[in-house]
Structure 1
Amino acid sequence: MKTIGRKDKIDLPEFQLFEIDAKIDTGAYGNALHCHHTKIEKRNGVDTLSFQILDPDHPDYEGQVFYTSKFSEKSVKSSNGELEHRFLIKTEIVLFGETTEIEFSLTDRSNMRNPILLGRTFLSGNYLVDVQLKNLSFKKKPIS
């Protein structure tokens, strides 16, 4: 297993987002991605989820709208203990130079320090968390 710190930087190649801050949270069951303007619309007769990632004040915010027909919906218990209705999407992340498929619930994390949260479903069996450390995968990236 790899050691990961309390925070790290991940890439989301499908969305052309790189070195995005992620909080490593062993207290959270699932993974969360900060999104806004999520809605289901018909595109070519197919239910399609549209959404935007990050906030306009984030340096990597492009204002781009993303679309996927590969989504589901679920009730999730939020950090404050309330049930929230969320959309779930699958995408790939790159961490420690390895590409892995991951499921994110889309939620408003604008009041949080990090736009991404990685929980136990992703960490279990793959990572040991050392809360005294951070950005271990980022530090190991090769210099181009």
Structure 2
Amino acid sequence: MTNNNIQSYRAKKRRKARIQPPLIIGWREYVSLPELGLNDFTAKIDTGALTTALHATDIRRFTGEDGRDWVEFHPPDLGHSAPDICRARVSDHRQVKNSGGIAEDRYFIRTDLKVEHRVFLVEISLTDRGEMKYPMLIGRTALRGHGLVVDCGHSWLTRPRKPKKNHKSQGVTK
């Protein structure tokens, strides 16, 4: 073997070692955006959607100390130690068609998304999802290339859903 062949062989072995088995996720899962301080909340996985969207209100663009565009916004109310205001650098500003097919101007940010034990960089559009059931919708662009397989017939495959308190199940058992 020549030196180039040995290096190529070693590079292939390193790439294979990094490849993880697919993680099967449901159409609803718990996720986190650790860089924004948004942890352990539900998201809808939508392979029909191209982009990923996060509920944000009072979105305000400003110029940061680095001279770049930043946004400040109120994130979804997750009911647990989530920040009142998030700040992130703008990665893009473009039009996106909403679920009703109407084009909207949106700011995009890049941040880490954590699904189960996997963490990877995604691009997220900021929009008011207040009328939607889930504060975040994860589209196929964010899923691509991270070894995630969506089982659309199930939910909460990475871990069980948190039980809701049910007054009927409380009390004396027979």
| TM-score, length basis structure 2 | 0.71
Counting aligned pairs with the same residue, the percent is: 32
Comparing both structures, which one devotes a greater share of its residues to strand?
Answer: 1
CA distance in 2, matches of 1:63, 1:18: 10
- Please tell me whether the aligned partners of residues 44 and 138 of structure 2 are also in contact (alpha carbons under 8 angstroms): yes
1:110 aligns with 2:130: yes
2:75 aligned partner: 53
Aligned counterpart in structure 2 of residue 128 of structure 1, from 125, 149, 153:
149
Q: Which residues in structure 2 correspond to 1:72-111 (within 5 Å)?
A: 72-111=92-131
CA distance in 2, matches of 1:14, 1:63: 11
The higher-RCO structure (CA 8 Å, 6+ apart) is 1
- Please tell me whether the aligned partners of residues 36 and 53 of structure 1 are also in contact (alpha carbons under 8 angstroms): yes
2:86 aligned partner: 66
Unaligned 5+ runs, structure 2 = 1-21, 161-174
2:61 aligned partner: 40
2:39 aligned partner: 18
Q: Secondary structure at the match of 2:141?
A: helix
Cα RMSD between the aligned structures? 1.9
Q: Secondary structure at the match of 2:80?
A: coil
- Please tell me whether the aligned partners of residues 89 and 109 of structure 2 are also in contact (alpha carbons under 8 angstroms): no
Larger radius of gyration: 2
- Give a deviation string over 1:75-133, Cα, whole Å, max 9, x none: 00111101000000000011120111111000111111100111111223432221221
Unaligned 5+ runs, structure 1 = 140-144
* Aligned residue pairs, count: 137
Q: Structure 1 residues 45 and 129, CA, compared in 2 at 3 Å: closer, same or farther?
A: closer
| TM-score, length basis structure 1 | 0.85
Letter matched to residue 103 of structure 1: E
Letter matched to residue 130 of structure 1: D
CA distance in 2, matches of 1:138, 1:19: 11
